[in-house]
Chain A
Amino acid sequence: MISVTVAAPKGAEENPYTVGIVPQFDARRLRATWRPILDALTEQTGLYFELKGSSSIPAFERGVLAGDFDFAYMNPYHMLLVREHYSPLVRDVGKSLYGILVVHKESPLKSIEDLKGERVAFPAPNALGASLLVRAELKELHGIEIKPRYVRSHTSVYLNVVLDETMAGGGIQKTLNQQSAEIRNVLRVIYKTREVSPHPFAAHLNIPQEVRSRVQQAMLDLDGSANGRQLLSRVPVVKLGVAMLEDYKPLQQLGLERYYVQE
């Protein structure tokens, strides 16, 4: 017996496009942020979207590597890994990501050369700005080997440096600014990595070019309207612009995947 069912076309209400979001925050916050954005996209394009959750960052990585999502909001490093399957559409052009190295204010350290063989604190192995970029540049650009210590949070990094538990620590400017004056005032920044483009919103290459352009234009329009601007600011995105694969080339040149620790 043969039953013939005619599948609804992709993007229709019964067969929505799947969207994966890197779970940097808890699932409830992600849904509250992204569901209204996808609804606004539907209004603009007439296409329907479904949020596909991931329980953890590794789970999301597995999903995006397997091409499970039609669209995905991923971190810049992921973009490098999946560039064969996904094409970036838009990204935040209003800010850029970079990492910093801090030492104790009274540290005798004169140049980053002195860090050779020393213990350096990082929040986690795969934190893009604070860890991956810093570790890769120390090695690739300056040939410096250090002993990384992963202390789970940015605040822990700074405290380890303040209490002389480690010689230096990797962080980002924003979290350093959030520390209390007691901590901030006894730290100094000795190194700043090059700036890289932030998270792209990318489309699977299986999606027809026409649909990709429509979604890209709709995202840009959303950024232009007052209501859409408010929705995007929760992501947070300062200003959306067109994203290119070239934007992520500097990451590739650093050979970042060698510093990525599979969890």
Chain B
Amino acid sequence: MIRLRTKLLLPIIVVYVIFTAIIHFVLGPDMIGQKRLDITERETEVLKSLAPGVASMLAAGDLGALYYAIDTQLSQNRDDGWWSIELFTRDGKRIYPLRAAREFTGSTENKVTIEAKVEQEGNILGALVLTTDVGPGLDKASERIDMLEWIAMALFGLLVAVAAFLQNIWVSRPLDGLTRAATEMAEGDFYAKLPPFRPDEIGQLTRAFELMRHNLLYDTKKRERAEADLRQAHDSLEQHVQGRTRELEIANRKLNDEIVDHQKARERLRLTATVFDNTSEAIIITDKNSKIVDVNHAFSKITGYEKPEVMGKNPNIQQSGRHDKAFYQAMWESIQATGHWKGEIWDKRKNGKIYPKWLTINTVLGEDGEPANYVGIFSDISDVKAAEQKLEKLAYYDVLTGCPNRYLFKERLTHELSIAKRTHEQLALLFIDLDRFKDVNDTLGHKAGDELLQLVARRLISCVREEDTVARMGGDEFTIIINRIQAGGALDRIAQNMLDCLQEPVHIEGHEVFVGGSIGITICPDDSDDFETLVKYADMAMYRAKEKGRGLFEYFHSDMNIAVEQRVDLEANLRRGLIENEFELHYQPKISIGGGRIVGMEALVRWNHNGELLPPKDFIPFCEENGFIVPLGNWVLKQACQDAKRWIEKGHAGVRVAVNVSAVQFEQDDLADIVSSVLEEVGLAPQYLEVEVTESVVMGNVEHAGEMLGRLSDMGVTISIDDFGVGYSSLSYLKRLPIDTIKIDKTFIQDIGSGANDSAIVSAIVSMAHDLSMNVLAEGVETEEQLAFLTMKLCPEIQGYIFSSPLPITKAIQLMQKQTPA
């Protein structure tokens, strides 16, 4: 069937095809031909305009400009299809391009070659040849033709759409509506919607259809009612049969469920028996009168009792006797109240050995709700207990000496204090510090130090009763708790005895060492009954003993508190000083004797405190003691680097800044990292920084010093050894360290001329340094005589009042400007 709509559209399409064919086959080719002519003409003009410039450049030999001109023209016209330009001289030699022009790869029918003469003042010098691809230009023309065809297609499309739309509204849709209504009526639906009644031929047809449908509907309704009555009678019979079938099915399912339950119960019993026999924990079951009714295999393995031996017996046959009556009473009270108990309990095996176990007891209630059985489950925890004890030993005892450590000491003292309070007895706390322990450690090494501590601990323990406690607090500090002091100078005797013991010479690794100690004593409750306070007082008393001289003991006295408070004040002042910029750096120049030039500046810290400029010796020792030297040292390092940067920027690049590093700073593992980050932050190159470390610091821990100096030296920082000569340096060690400069201590320099011995030492140090390829500087040079001596001994550098005292930064820079030509 060909639809009405299709039939109507056919003539329109035929007209469209004829129209498009005319555009495509007649108008199109005409337009493209014209375009080709236009392009050729235009390109010829462009090429001709290029020729005169090319001619004059060729005549002048200015080939660089010629290449530039043609390259530019070519790159500008590439989009128009310009392919290549060639320039030939009259005798056919190619001047442009350097190599043969690229081969034409476009379609050959689009290739157009144009030539232009290159002439100057009537002389023909050569010719420009342009190869161009007209393809892109022609493509533009054919695009325009395509566009025309598209517009035609769009117009016809619109026409077709309008015609189809009108045909649809007026003819197709009403006819479709009637067709659908007729089909639905055939299937029994008499209420389908009909198309509206329009005042045309199709409207009349719709009206006739409506009348016919009304008559048919009346007959159909009557037949349907008779059918419904018949169906109802059939349905009630069916329902009765279904009810009986369902009752039978339910009975059957119940029977099956019961069978499965029985199987599950049997399985559970078997599993319980297996677990009971195979678990590693002992299980013991009694009746309500605590008579054993069953035990498992693990029970026999742990206790040593076989099952028949214990059946009917009370579990208390295992009691070890370690727990009192009250313990078992509490256990049974818990079981009766809550139904269960668990805890650690010591019991006896069959062989009489006592062991710890972890026991859980649960009550099993009978059907009457009264206890029917008790079930005990336990495991042997001997191993766990042993491990616990070992841990306790580690946590509470000092590994080296075996003495109680700081924690156990605290526990013991707290415990003893509470007893002393109850019994109104006196208790003494002794604080002991060894006098020369550090020297032993530094000179003989840590191993020797450890051996010494072990020996000291043994001697101290031998001086006290067993009930007293000797504890090691760390380092070379020991504390002793003496309980129940008897009156009449007993404590004096004990303390003196200890000091005598400590002063006995000690033999370690073939050396005879004298140590000695100082003791501080405080009494509870006379001084205090508080743990912290007592320890503090004993410590203060010990310090006082040290100050008075070594090998003494001292009782705490309340005026010691005041001295401590002064120290606390000083510390607070120092911290505030750092925040409020009370510290400043002065610089003492280092001079090269040969050139008379300043080669370095040593930074020296001053404290501007309460209007007074304090030298380092007034506060640095205290800073080293309480650790404040670390922040202060970092401040000095940063400030000195900033100052150095300032004078380097003013042109004094030959002057490096030297910063002293104290023992405490040097012990810090991150010293090298701090130096590196300060240099980076300030923007100072490492070669401008010199670090001065005293000889005793380096020799105190040679291994650490080697590593730390190595890291600093690798970074590019210069290393000096300060105060050289007063310690006991080993030359073999010095040789191995990356040391750049040795600074001879000023005590040797001051004595030049007076004692022949010191002069000899200076000469020896200078010549030794020369041998080791190290630089030498003499500190504290004050007189012409000293200078003359050093000059004669070829000491290269000096520092001292003869040249300049330490100066504030502005003065120091002025001095550099005067001394060294910037």
Contacts of B64 in A (CB 8 A): 151-159
Residue of B nearest to A151 (CB): B61
Say whether B62 faces chain A, with CB atoms less than 8 Å apart: yes
A154 to B62, CA, bound (A): 9
B497 CB to closest chain A CB (Å) equals: 74
Say whether A26 faces chain B, with CB atoms less than 8 Å apart: no
A interface footprint on B32-73 (CB within 8 Å = 1, 0 otherwise): 000000000000000000000000000011111101000000
A166 to B67, CA, bound (A): 17
Instruction: Establish whether residues B61 and A156, one from each chain, have CB atoms under 8 Å apart when the complex forms.
Output: yes
Instruction: Establish whether residues A151 and B98, one from each chain, have CB atoms under 8 Å apart when the complex forms.
Output: no
B interface footprint on A203-235 (CB within 8 Å = 1, 0 otherwise): 000000000000000000100100000000000
Contacts of B493 in A (CB 8 A): none
Contacts of A160 in B (CB 8 A): 61, 63
B interface footprint on A150-186 (CB within 8 Å = 1, 0 otherwise): 1111111111101101100000000000000011000
Contacts of B822 in A (CB 8 A): 221
A224 to B648, CA, bound (A): 11
Say whether B95 faces chain A, with CB atoms less than 8 Å apart: yes
Q: Pick the contact of A153 from B65, B93, B651 — CB < 8 Å?
A: B65
A interface footprint on B95-115 (CB within 8 Å = 1, 0 otherwise): 100110000000000000000
Q: Pick the contact of B98 from A153, A165, A183 — CB < 8 Å?
A: A183
Interface size bucket, A side?
20 to 34
Say whether A19 faces chain B, with CB atoms less than 8 Å apart: no
Most buried by B among A156, A163, A165: A156
Give the A-B contact count at a CB cut-off of 8 A: 46
Most buried by B among A152, A158, A182: A152
B interface footprint on A132-159 (CB within 8 Å = 1, 0 otherwise): 0000000000000000011111111111
A140 to B98, CA, bound (A): 35
Instruction: Establish whether residues A156 and B62, one from each chain, have CB atoms under 8 Å apart when the complex forms.
Output: yes
Instruction: Establish whether residues B95 and A163, one from each chain, have CB atoms under 8 Å apart when the complex forms.
Output: yes
Say whether A72 faces chain B, with CB atoms less than 8 Å apart: no
Say whether A89 faces chain B, with CB atoms less than 8 Å apart: no
Residue tally, chain B, CB below 8 Å to A: 13
A interface footprint on B638-673 (CB within 8 Å = 1, 0 otherwise): 000000000000010000000000000000000000
Most buried by B among A121, A165, A221: A165
Instruction: Establish whether residues A121 and B61, one from each chain, have CB atoms under 8 Å apart when the complex forms.
Output: yes
A162 CB to closest chain B CB (Å) equals: 7
Most buried by A among B60, B62, B67: B62
B interface footprint on A40-84 (CB within 8 Å = 1, 0 otherwise): 000000000000000000000000000000000000000000000
Contacts of B65 in A (CB 8 A): 152-153, 156
B68 CB to closest chain A CB (Å) equals: 8
A163 to B94, CA, bound (A): 9
Contacts of A150 in B (CB 8 A): 61
A182 to B95, CA, bound (A): 14
A159 to B98, CA, bound (A): 9
Q: Pick the contact of B63 from A156, A221, A224 — CB < 8 Å?
A: A156
Instruction: Establish whether residues A182 and B651, one from each chain, have CB atoms under 8 Å apart when the complex forms.
Output: no
Contacts of B93 in A (CB 8 A): 163
Instruction: Establish whether residues A182 and B61, one from each chain, have CB atoms under 8 Å apart when the complex forms.
Output: no
Residue of A nearest to B61 (CB): A151
Instruction: Establish whether residues B67 and A159, one from each chain, have CB atoms under 8 Å apart when the complex forms.
Output: yes
Q: Pick the contact of B60 from A152, A163, A182 — CB < 8 Å?
A: A152
Contacts of B63 in A (CB 8 A): 151, 155-156, 159-160, 163, 165
A34 to B651, CA, bound (A): 23
B interface footprint on A179-206 (CB within 8 Å = 1, 0 otherwise): 0001100000000000000000000000
Instruction: Establish whether residues B62 and A153, one from each chain, have CB atoms under 8 Å apart when the complex forms.
Output: yes
Contacts of A149 in B (CB 8 A): 61
Residue of B nearest to A166 (CB): B61
Contacts of B67 in A (CB 8 A): 155, 159
Instruction: Establish whether residues A152 and B98, one from each chain, have CB atoms under 8 Å apart when the complex forms.
Output: no
Contacts of A151 in B (CB 8 A): 60-64
Most buried by A among B64, B95, B651: B64
Contacts of B99 in A (CB 8 A): 182
Contacts of B61 in A (CB 8 A): 121, 149-152, 156, 160, 165-166
| 27 intermolecular pairs with C-beta atoms under 8 Å apart | A121-B61, A151-B60, A151-B61, A151-B63, A151-B64, A152-B60, A152-B62, A153-B62, A153-B64, A153-B65, A154-B64, A155-B64, A156-B61, A156-B62, A156-B65, A157-B64, A160-B61, A162-B98, A163-B93, A165-B61, A165-B63, A166-B61, A182-B99, A183-B98, A221-B651, A221-B822, A224-B651
Q: Which 3 A-B pairs have the closest CB atoms?
A: A155-B64, A159-B63, A156-B64
Besides A152-B62, A153-B64, A163-B95, 12 more A-B contacts (Cβ < 8 Å) are A151-B60, A151-B63, A151-B64, A152-B64, A153-B62, A154-B64, A156-B62, A158-B64, A162-B98, A165-B61, A165-B63, A224-B651
